[in-house]
Structure 1
């Protein structure tokens, strides 16, 4: 006997769910297609087929971009939970195959891109060659949002535990946060600066000794951390330059344009140039590197194994 389920115009496949979730996240068919690894015409054609079957539009133009219609919003709202369940089922099947297959969608911030991520993928490839990775570089807010919306399995992110205004915990509310490592925040200054030469015996510097300097700020979250760190030392920094390129930050310090705070992980990725020193602070400033997943994602064997290797490679 053949089982033939009743057909419904509202039956939705997983590819449609992923497409709608990606459009909701990025507000662009082109960007959604790139993230999902499809061509833009293929995604547009998929949308047209689904809209014809449903009898209602899922996207509409909004200025230079697009936005979801009410029907599209309904699908996007349920997509994350449904995709998590489907990925979990696929993961259990992968477990039966002994991790000879599987896919992990990973995102991480820039300094992790050149340090943690390459080593992780290399080790995973050596131990489980059948597991495939897709990777997208994104700052923590976008990376965590991608996990929440079902576009990524694991986001490598960071937060500053001492900061009053760090929005990380709110952004990760309802998700699972796996601690990976502590990453010290170092002050970069020109050699010979009095605040460096007069550093404490343990070679830690007091940010207050640099209150009169120009400061170089980074990404929005790093800039917020700079403001909080200086506030704890009793002053507001004079921010003269802003760039999220940590190599540019080091070059600016080397050129005598100012001082800056950078995490040790960034200095692992690129050597400190001549004429610049990097020292820890008297406030023991640091950030915490974490991996963020959806609840239940570690039931997927490939994700669970990636988290295990992440902990070991980060350590």
Structure 2
């Protein structure tokens, strides 16, 4: 004959553990009920229901008082360990919820490293010292892949809305995109360039620079440069390529070409002497976004990081109306 154990019959909830532990400590249902904040009849009825479910008594009369049975002593002995673990878990959850602890694994692109990231981490440290950050610099494709793979909680990235071939939407499929700010794209030319003579303060039509040599950046930025020039009716002659924004500015100052750079890059490294930056006549811009996995904003530390990013977008572009949108595949 095979006996099938009915483990469900011995399931014990935390309230039962606390009642039995209090009875063991005080030797009285009345005293245990008072300490726990219940009425004496409520505790007595609870014990009877548990005893009925277990099929054995937990307490028995002893003179004018009560004592634990052998089964009650087993429950009380384990209750001490279990309740201690539950209390520690509740305390840790309270710390997480109250942002007294937690972590955020952050990834962002290079020009954000000296603008958005320091501001975010320093603000979080001032307001929630128990939350810890780890940070890795990466261009958007790698940063978004890190979120998808679970190695990063939050990636600060960018995309160019005007670029039909921008792979951004495909890269964030099934992830959540939180819009942070609009970052204006500036055109950089040497001081005194003839294209500035018409109106030195007006946005610059890229078509005026069709004969110039161009300095291009990362693959995504290069694609944006060629797309912007195409919308202005020409194909740029690219003679220099570098991902270093400071190098781009220095090359423009040296007369080696003209270039496009986002305003955030200029905030990270101010223009050197000899370079003029202008908005483009077409209102060229990119969007700064945060990318997370679905539900990540419900993690208290990550949700607070997102709130701070929306409240203080460290960019020279004007803030966009904050929005959160899942990207459908």
Q: Would you say 1:138 and 2:130 are equivalent positions?
A: no
The aligned counterpart of 1:98 is 98
How many residues align structurally?
226
The aligned counterpart of 1:228 is 227
- Normalised by the length of structure 1, the TM-score is 0.69
1:286/1:191 CA distance change after superposition, 3 Å: same
Q: Is the 8 A contact 1:215 1:241 kept in 2?
A: yes
The aligned counterpart of 1:197 is 197
The aligned counterpart of 1:309 is 308
Once the two structures are TM-superposed, the CA of residue 196 in structure 1 deviates from its matched residue by 1.6
The aligned counterpart of 1:27 is none
RMSD (CA atoms): 1.8
Alignment of 1:1-315 (within 5 A): 93=93, 98-199=98-199, 203-314=202-313, 315=319
- Normalised by the length of structure 2, the TM-score is 0.66
CA distance in 2: counterparts of 1:97 and 1:215, whole angstroms: 51
CA distance in 2: counterparts of 1:232 and 1:221, whole angstroms: 17
Q: Secondary structure at the match of 2:312?
A: helix
Once the two structures are TM-superposed, the CA of residue 194 in structure 1 deviates from its matched residue by 1.1
Once the two structures are TM-superposed, the CA of residue 251 in structure 1 deviates from its matched residue by 0.2
Residues 18-72 of structure 1, C-alpha deviation per residue, up to 9 Å, x if partnerless? xxxxxxxxxxxxxxxxxxxxxxxxxxxxxxxxxxxxxxxxxxxxxxxxxxxxxxx
Q: Structure 1: 5+ residue runs without aligned partners?
A: 4-88
CA distance in 2: counterparts of 1:253 and 1:96, whole angstroms: 49
Q: Secondary structure at the match of 1:107?
A: strand
Q: Which runs of 4+ in 1 moved over 2 A?
A: 92-97
Residues 101-137 of structure 1, C-alpha deviation per residue, up to 9 Å, x if partnerless? 1010000000000001001100000000000000000
CA distance in 1: counterparts of 2:119 and 2:229, whole angstroms: 34
Q: Secondary structure at the match of 2:303?
A: helix
Once the two structures are TM-superposed, the CA of residue 226 in structure 1 deviates from its matched residue by 0.2
Q: Secondary structure at the match of 1:182?
A: strand
CA distance in 1: counterparts of 2:218 and 2:97, whole angstroms: 42
1:151/1:204 CA distance change after superposition, 3 Å: same
